[in-house]
Amino acid sequence: MKLAKKIIIALILGGLTGLAINILFPDIFPSIDQYVFTPIGKIFLSMINMLVVPIVFFSITLGTAGLGDPKKLGRIGIKTISFFLITTALAITIALALAIVFEPGKVGDFNLTSINYESKEAPPISDTLLNIIPTNPVKAFTEGNMLQIITFSIFVGFGLAMLGSKTKGLLKIIEQGNDLMMYLVNLVMKFAPYGTFGLIASAVGSQGFGAIKAMGLYMSIVLLALLVHTIFVYGSAVALLAKKNPWWFFKGFAPAMSVAFSTSSSSATLPLSMATAQKNLKIPKSISSFVQPLGATINMDGTAIMQGVATIFIAQVFSVELTFTQLITVVLTAVLASVGTAGVPGVGLIMLAMVLNSVNLPVEGIALIIGIDRLLDMTRTAVNSTGDAACALIVAESEAKNEKAEKDLKTAG
């Protein structure tokens, strides 16, 4: 059986098992979770996380060196960042529109007197952007600071391209390092179905279903916005810009989506999402290695959607009417907040504080959604990873077109 099928079956079985134990034997769930589900999930998560830093370094260095021409790198960079920003802004707009129409914060009884949320300080976004150049690359590596590792790798790759035959040996080593990492990804992925089972059983089993019922409308709006964004924005971008069948795209990327769903971490999914994009979607290594790690760090459309719906929800619960200018502020800060969100579970909710602050909404409102955020985190992470793959596909197709045009021009000349 194909790995993708196994992962999806594990996902369903894990969900059903967690749900059954949650409902039938709620008392014994904590022990089963502690000794069975969580350890299995943790082993898998640790194994893939182990590969993220070396993969990002090897593949971006190799990708940049492979692009060679700094002009090409600049062009790909501009296309990538533009796609990221435009799709994220669209994502929030869809989220705001649906939340304004369906008013999830006006239905139901939310007990505001008992809420107690100690807001964690959302790191200022300027820090993230200003700190992308590492003063000490070794520190960036040990801390797993993705943006800094990406910057360093681009510098190294660029240097290798410029020095050409002088650094041929080093380039070869990086090539082999990359091959080795890809081999290890495939090896670790053999464990994916078990890991997925453990992670999902644990996540579903520990949900309080009472809370889910109370927050049903909010959850449905977030899920609806995620679905609309995925189908319409990514689907039409793939069809119109890359001229590919959206169904082929979603089907090909499904294994990575299901791992993103079970891990709730775009960063942990990165090794698999790159491998899947290169193998199933035939995206050239040099482009996938550049676009996807960058996307896993700064492009979070799913997160932006949650932040948009959550902001409107909290405004409605606290009976605050947001003006049009405030809505625009929400769009802008949610773009930044999602850029600043790290690709690990739950961070999107911490960064939500930044959006709420920008329009003077009470951060305590986060307490209302924190209990049910785990399930939404899983879904939005799948969307986050899909957005990066869609971008890589579109950039790859447009680069292929560019190259063909250049070739035609040369032969004509």
Per-residue b or e along 151-185, where b marks 16 or more CB atoms closer than 10 Å to that residue's CB: bbbbebbbebbeeeeebeeebeebeebbeebbebb
35: left (phi over 0), alpha (psi -120 to 50) or beta: alpha
Q: Counting contacts by CB under 6 A, is residue 265 touching ligand ASP?
A: yes
Q: Counting contacts by CB under 6 A, is residue 309 touching ligand ASP?
A: no
Residue 274 CA to residue 289 CA, distance in Å, equals 7
Q: Three-state DSSP class for 246?
A: helix
Q: Counting contacts by CB under 6 A, is residue 345 touching ligand ASP?
A: yes
Out of 303, 311, 379, 386, which residue is the one contacting ligand ASP (CB under 6 A)?
A: 303
Out of 151, 264, 289, 333, which residue is the one contacting ligand ASP (CB under 6 A)?
A: 264
Q: Counting contacts by CB under 6 A, is residue 144 touching ligand ASP?
A: no
- Contact flags string 44-83 toward ligand ASP, x per CB under 6 A: ----------------------------------------
Q: Counting contacts by CB under 6 A, is residue 346 touching ligand ASP?
A: yes
Out of 300, 312, 369, 392, which residue is the one contacting ligand ASP (CB under 6 A)?
A: 300
Q: Enter the DSSP assignment of 242.
A: S
Tell me whether residue 6 or residue 380 sits nearer to ligand ASP (CB atom): 380
Residue whose tokens read 């606290």: 318
Comparing C-alpha atoms, which of 320, 302, 298, 324 is closest to residue 311?
320
Contact 240, 216 (CB under 8 A): no
Per rule CB under 6 A, count of chain residues that contact ligand ASP: 16
Tell me whether residue 3 or residue 370 sits nearer to ligand ASP (CB atom): 370
Residue 323 CA to residue 315 CA, distance in Å, equals 11
Comparing C-alpha atoms, which of 311, 237, 249 is closest to residue 79?
237
The piece of 66-74, 247-255, 320-328, 340-348 that touches ligand ASP (CB under 6 A) is 340-348
Within 349-408, the residues that bind ligand ASP by CB under 6 A are: 377, 380-381, 384
The piece of 6-14, 80-88, 202-210, 339-347 that touches ligand ASP (CB under 6 A) is 339-347
**E strand or H helix that includes residue 354:** helix 347-358
Shortest distance (Å) from residue 47 CB to ligand ASP: 17
Binding stretches for ligand ASP (CB under 6 A): 264-266, 300, 303, 341, 343-348, 377, 380-381, 384
